[in-house]
Structure 1
Amino acid sequence: MGSDLVRLFLCGDVMLGRGVDQILPHPGDPALRERYVHDARSYVALAEAVNGPVPRRADFAYPWGVALDALDAAAPDARVTNLETAVTTNGAFAPGKAVHYRMHPANLPSLAAVRPDVCVLANNHVLDFGRGGLDDTLASLAANGLRTAGAGATAEEAQRPATVGLPGGGRLVVHALGMASSGIPYDWAATARRGGVHFAAAPADTAATQLAGRVRDAKNPGDIVVVSIHWGSNWGYALSRAEVELAHALIEGGVDIVHGHSSHHPRPLEVYRGKLVLHGCGDLINDYEGITGYEQYRDDLRLLHLASVRPEDGGLQEVRIIPLQARRMRLEHASGRDARWLHDVLGRTSRPYGAQVALDEDGSLVARPA
């Protein structure tokens, strides 16, 4: 690959709240209002029952494990994460939700450890502690120098993309959109007078269709435009036809990468008109270790997506995928056997969408246009 390619790190959900928050240096209130679990430390105990002791007051980098060195070796030009938790010690539990995530603001150095250039917030947990909790989240991230996209104090702020300078003078422009299909309540939508997320009730909703128009109007030569979307159900490889059509419409409108997340495991990759669509990146960090019920999807396997695109047209050269595994609430390298399993699953499910997945000698996966 030539050195003039733009290299981007894209990942799925980063959930540093609840049980993960409890093992970091500044754990918040562990109280929960879930049906079966009432203390966040119970999720640490579940992980320990499966894989052994988890340290308390672990250093901020602990949950990332080997991912930090892997990313430093890959040297991406920009890093985009989906932060799926409120960052607050205040606020009331949002009504009508079965699960609530929050992390203590003093634990934000754990997020900063991966050096994200953009933190996407358009998801179904950022308002788990109300609009006061959202205000705290936005203020804490800003105080730590972390750019955000997808949520704000008004609709205008929630719709505003995050912009990052790239080598060679171009820009990475990241828009973020949350959809009802991922479980975002309708009343979380930001309005002119009320904070919230950039929200679309459905793929054909005005908010989704207008996004393509805003991209088309604002895109400059040399820009790489990413639309990061929280959409779809948690489990399964089948894709919604309407959501696939939305991804295509965004690409046709000038978007270079559609960065999809919400599913707990990876979903198919697609190459449409030479551009990348990640329909579901899978979780990257959470406290789900030891929770049973969907073992066939291997949600313990986590992926680092490293997309290389041409700056002149945003066309995809390749996506290198580093497979990891969550153990003791930190990321380790996946085994060769697990890498082969991921290759088989992603290869089979992505082939109908124009992406070819190969297994490299170093154990990483490489996806290219078919």
Structure 2
Amino acid sequence: MSTQSKVAAVQAAPCFLDLDAGIDKAIGLIEEASANGANLIAFSETWLPGYPNHIWLGPVAWQMQFVGRYFDNSIVAGSPQEARLAKACRDNNIQLSMGCSERDGGSLYIAQWHFDETGEVVNRRRKLKPTHVERTVYGEGDGSDLNVVQTSIGRVGQLACWEHLQPLSKYAMYAQNEQIHVAAWPNLALYEGVAYALGHQVNNGASMIYAVEGSCFVVAPCSLVTKEMQDMLCDGDAEKEALLPLGGGYTTIYGPDGSELAERIPHDHEGIMYADIDLHMIGYAKGAADPAGHYAKRDSTRLLINRKKQRAVVNFDDASGWEEMVEQSGSPADVTE
């Protein structure tokens, strides 16, 4: 495995509430990044079919106009839309981290799907705890989603948005010797200047600190709000427009020392940010401070991780179902028929 590769972070508006158009646009961006020599391209949080800004803008009764379309345009694992993304990766010999709203049965999840260059999904994770009103739309992930995978360009992990403010989740990732991290953010225009700790300064700061703490490269794609999206969501309401200004794209790529590795794209412009990275540089950062290794204080603090996939339904006609119930309850005596 070479220690050198090129990574790409997408700063682009989604095709809001139009999954198939979003797939078309994603494939065009994948082809562009590949043509420019990228080995990995990363998209922002729920880029398919777009971040649901409407949940922050009005009462639940008003939001209902978007609920059905958002559900219908959320992507399903194993669908023809996923197959198109997989083919784009194969055809262009590039890895893909796609932020999406994943539909599973009757529920939605904030998800990140990592395709390798053959088109195989090597990591399919869900955000552990949706933030604030996101919990009115999305379900939760579990410990099995704190996962770092070995790829041809290094060990790659993914987290979304304010998971980068969860110290234990971050530590679980650091402990897996993560080398390249995809930090997927939504647009950072929402509530700009009028809400506590939602601005781009603190969110970019979280990505930068992750790079330093984890001694890894951080690819932090960010979406943006267009006039078309603002018109759809605000319908000319000046108060809503003030809460959802245009732009908000603050894409960044950081090195293990916290330095920015590429010139920023203006926050109201679309584009792809590129950076050449060398995993050899991680050794310099780890030599100074490896928080889950030689810089840990094991006799004082430790992290416990439950990696078991949590299921709402366990079939007792399946032997593994009984084993799972016993494991989660603590002992056979705790299992009642």
TM, length-normalised to structure 1: 0.44
Name whichever structure is richer in helix by fraction. 2
